[in-house]
Chains A and B, each alone.
Chain A
Amino acid sequence: MPVTTAVFYLLAAVTLGSACGVAFGTNILYSAFALMGTFLGVAAIFVLLGADFLGVIQLFVYVGGILVLTLFAVMLTHRIDVQVSNRAVGRLPGLVVVGVVATWMIRVARAARWTEGQPGPPAATTAGIGDAFLGTYVLPFEVASVVLLAALIGAIVVSRKEVKG
C-alpha cells in the first residue's frame, strides 16, 4: 500500500473514530470535545489532498470557531451534568438500516467510474481560490456576506435579553 493511501486511512480512522465518540459519548461535553478530533482529521485530509489553504481554514474556522461556539452552546444549557445525552432508542434497527445503506453505498461507489482530477505538481492553492472567489464564483462570494449578515442578526434575535416588565 502506498504511503499516501496508508496515511489517508489513518486520518480517516481518526476522523471516524472521533465522530463515533461524538455520536456515542454519554456526556455531551465530551461529545463536543470529540468533535475536535473529527475537525482535525478532516483538516489533515484536506492537506493530504493538496488543499493546504482549505486545511488551514478548517483549523481556523472549525476548530478555532465552531468548536468554541459549540462548547459555549453546551455550557448555556441548564443541565450539562445530564450523563445520558444520547439515549439509545432502537439501536438494533438503526444498525440494520445503517448496515444496509452502507453496503449499498460502498458497492455502487466501488463500481462507479469517478472523474479524477489530473495529479499535478504540488502548488499553493491560495491564488487559485482567490481567482475563483473574485472571478467565477463572485456571486456566491457576495451572497455569503449577506448570509453572514443574516447570521449576525439572527444571533441577536436568539440571544436577546428577556423583556423587562
Chain B
Amino acid sequence: MDATQSLRYFGPELVLTAAIMAVLALDLGLTARGIERSRWPGIVALAGAAAAIGSAVRLLRVPAREWLFGRMLVFDGFSVYFKVLLGLALLAAVWMSLGSREVRGQPNEGEYFTLLLSSGLAMLLMAAAANLLMAYLSLEFASLTSYVLTGFLRHNRRSAEAALKYLIYGGVASGAMIYGMSWIFGLTGSMDYAGIAAGIAQLDDPSRGAFFLALVLVLAGFGYKVASVPFHMWAPDVYTGAPIPVTAFLAVGSKAAGFAMLLRFFHFGVGAAGPVGAVTRVPLLQLGTLLCAATMTLGNLAALSQQNMKRLLAYSSIAHAGYALLGFVVFADAGVQAVLFYLTVYYIMNLGAFWVVMLIANATGHEDLPSYRGLAWRGGALPALALAIFLFSLAGLPPLAGFVGKFYVFGAGVERGLIALVVVGVLNSVVSLYYYVRVVKTMFLDEPRAEDAPVHFALNDLAAVGLLSAATLVLGIRFDWLLARVETARRIFAG
C-alpha cells in the first residue's frame, strides 16, 4: 500500500505527531508571555494521548490486514492491540507526570511532555514495524527520548548517572543489533520480514549457522528493550534514577513495545518459514528457554534484598519480563496470546504499583522501604491497600488479575511441553511472594515510630490508583472479555 492510502491506518501516529507540535507551540506561547510554570503543556499532552487511544480503538474494528508505506509497517490486529496498550501507557505516564512533585518542580515542562509524547510515538512505530530499517529507527527513536527523560531531573546525580548508564548500555545493545541486522540482510537479501522469511527458506546449512549468529546479535537489542537477562543491568539504576512517571512508562511501555517487536520478528520474520524457522529451531528454543529461566530467577533473587521501592520494582519487572518470555518461547499463537494477556495485566498492576510509590514519594519525599513503616495507620490506609492489591497481583495470587495472567502463560508452556520451564516459573512466583509480602507487612504490621510523620493523600490523587486496583480485582474474575480481545489480536500478519 502506498503512502497516501496508508495514512488511513496511521491515525494514532498522526494524532501524536500533531500533539507534539501542539505542545511545542503552546510552550512557545507561554514563553512569549513569560509564564514559567503552567499545567497546560501537560493537559494538551494528556488530550493528545487520549485522542491517539481513541484513534487506535477505532482501528480495532477494522478487520484489514495490510502492509503500510511500501512494506515498512504492518497493519493487523496485533499492532492495533499494542497501539491501544501503548497509548494507555502514555496516557498514564502523562497523567502521573501531572501529579508528580519531581516533574512539576522542574523547568522545561514543555520539553518534558514533548519528549514523552515522542517516546510514545516511537513505541507505536515499534509495535507495527515489519522492516529491519523501520524496526531499528523506531527502536533508536524510543531509546533516544528515554535517555533524555531518564536524565530529566536537574540537580539529581542519580538521574544523570542513570541516563549515562542507560545510554552506554543502549549504545552497545543497539550496535550489536544493527550489526546482526546487517548479517540478516546479507544472508537473505531482504529487509522486510516477509522477504526475510522467504530468504531463510533458501538458506543452505552453513548459512543457517551464520543466521543463528545474526539472531543472537539481534536478540541483544530486543533483550535490552524488554530488560531480559543478560541485557538487564541497566534496569535497576535507570528505574531508580529516573523520575517515577518515566520509570513507570519505561517499565510498562518500553517493555511492551520491545515484546511487540520481539514477537513480530520471531513469529513472522523468522518463524513464517515453518514453525519458528525450521532453520534455527533447536538452538533458538534452547537459547530462549535459557534466557527465560535466567531472567525470572535472577530478577526475583535480586529483588529479595532491595530496600528502595523503585529498585525492588525494577528487579520485579525484570522477573516479569521472564514470565512473559515464557509465552514467547512457546513459539506459537497460543504463546502470543498468553504474552498479550500477560502484558495487559502487567500494565495494570505494575503501573498501579508505581503510581502508589509516586504518591507516597510526593507525600513523604522518600522511596525507601523503612519510610513505608506503618503507613496504613498514619493516614495512608487507601494507598497502602491499593499497593497491597497490586503487589499480591504481581506475585500472582488468586483471585487477582496477575494470577490469571500467569495461569495463561504457564498453561501455554505446559501445552508446549516446557514443563521444566514452567516449574521454574512457579518456583519463582513463590520466591517473589516473599519480597512483595515484605512490603505489605511493613505497611500494615510494622508500628510507625515517633519520627514517622502522618501523611495526607488527596482523594482526587487516588482516583487513578482506585481505577487500576478495581481493574486488577475485576480482571481476576471476569477476564473473558479481555481474553476475547486478545484472541483476535494474536494472529500476526504474515505477508
B487 CB-CB contact with A under 8 Å: no
Docked pose: A82 CA to B203 CA in angstroms: 51
Contact with A along B142-170 (1 / 0, CB 8 A): 00110110011011000000000000000
Query: Is A150 a contact partner of B141 (Cβ separation < 8 A)?
Result: yes
Chain A interfacial residues counted at CB < 8 A: 30
Which of A109, A113, A136, A160 contacts B107, CB < 8 Å? A160
The residues of B that contact A123 with a CB separation of less than 8 Å are none
Query: Is A150 a contact partner of B137 (Cβ separation < 8 A)?
Result: no
Query: Is A115 a contact partner of B17 (Cβ separation < 8 A)?
Result: no
Q: Taking the nearest CB of chain A, how far is it from the CB of B22, in angstroms?
A: 13
Query: Is B209 a contact partner of A150 (Cβ separation < 8 A)?
Result: no
Question: Interface-forming stretch among A33-41, A56-64, A140-148?
Answer: A140-148
Question: Interface-forming stretch among A1-9, A23-31, A88-96, A151-159?
Answer: A151-159
Query: Is B187 a contact partner of A114 (Cβ separation < 8 A)?
Result: yes
What residue of chain A has the Cβ atom nearest to residue B210's Cβ?
A: A112
What residue of chain A has the Cβ atom nearest to residue B141's Cβ?
A: A147
Docked pose: A147 CA to B143 CA in angstroms: 11
The residues of B that contact A158 with a CB separation of less than 8 Å are 148, 151
B63 CB-CB contact with A under 8 Å: no
Docked pose: A150 CA to B143 CA in angstroms: 11
Q: Taking the nearest CB of chain A, how far is it from the CB of B150, in angstroms?
A: 11
Question: Interface-forming stretch among B38-46, B66-74, B282-290, B393-401?
Answer: B66-74
What residue of chain A has the Cβ atom nearest to residue B206's Cβ?
A: A111
A127 CB-CB contact with B under 8 Å: no
B333 CB-CB contact with A under 8 Å: no
The residues of B that contact A76 with a CB separation of less than 8 Å are none
Docked pose: A154 CA to B118 CA in angstroms: 11
Query: Is A150 a contact partner of B72 (Cβ separation < 8 A)?
Result: no
Which of B141, B155, B207 contacts A112, CB < 8 Å? B207
A108 CB-CB contact with B under 8 Å: yes
Which of B118, B151, B199 contacts A146, CB < 8 Å? B118
What residue of chain A has the Cβ atom nearest to residue B121's Cβ?
A: A146
The residues of A that contact B211 with a CB separation of less than 8 Å are 112
The residues of B that contact A147 with a CB separation of less than 8 Å are 137, 140-141, 144
Query: Is B111 a contact partner of A157 (Cβ separation < 8 A)?
Result: yes
Docked pose: A105 CA to B212 CA in angstroms: 11
Query: Is A157 a contact partner of B210 (Cβ separation < 8 A)?
Result: no
Q: Taking the nearest CB of chain B, how far is it from the CB of A160, in angstroms?
A: 6
Query: Is A140 a contact partner of B70 (Cβ separation < 8 A)?
Result: no
A47 CB-CB contact with B under 8 Å: no
What residue of chain B has the Cβ atom nearest to residue A113's Cβ?
A: B207
A100 CB-CB contact with B under 8 Å: no
The residues of B that contact A105 with a CB separation of less than 8 Å are 213
Given contacts A115-B187, A136-B70, whether A150 and B145 have CB atoms under 8 Å apart is yes
What residue of chain A has the Cβ atom nearest to residue B179's Cβ?
A: A105
What residue of chain A has the Cβ atom nearest to residue B131's Cβ?
A: A140
What residue of chain B has the Cβ atom nearest to residue A104's Cβ?
A: B213
Docked pose: A150 CA to B147 CA in angstroms: 11
A138 CB-CB contact with B under 8 Å: yes
Docked pose: A107 CA to B186 CA in angstroms: 16
What residue of chain A has the Cβ atom nearest to residue B217's Cβ?
A: A105
B458 CB-CB contact with A under 8 Å: no
Query: Is B111 a contact partner of A139 (Cβ separation < 8 A)?
Result: no
Query: Is B204 a contact partner of A113 (Cβ separation < 8 A)?
Result: yes
Query: Is A112 a contact partner of B206 (Cβ separation < 8 A)?
Result: yes
Docked pose: A116 CA to B71 CA in angstroms: 22
Which of B6, B20, B70, B209 contacts A111, CB < 8 Å? B209
A-B contacts, 20 listed (Cβ < 8 Å): A111-B209, A112-B187, A112-B206, A113-B203, A113-B206, A113-B207, A135-B70, A137-B133, A139-B3, A139-B6, A139-B70, A139-B72, A143-B125, A147-B141, A150-B115, A153-B111, A154-B144, A157-B111, A157-B112, A157-B152
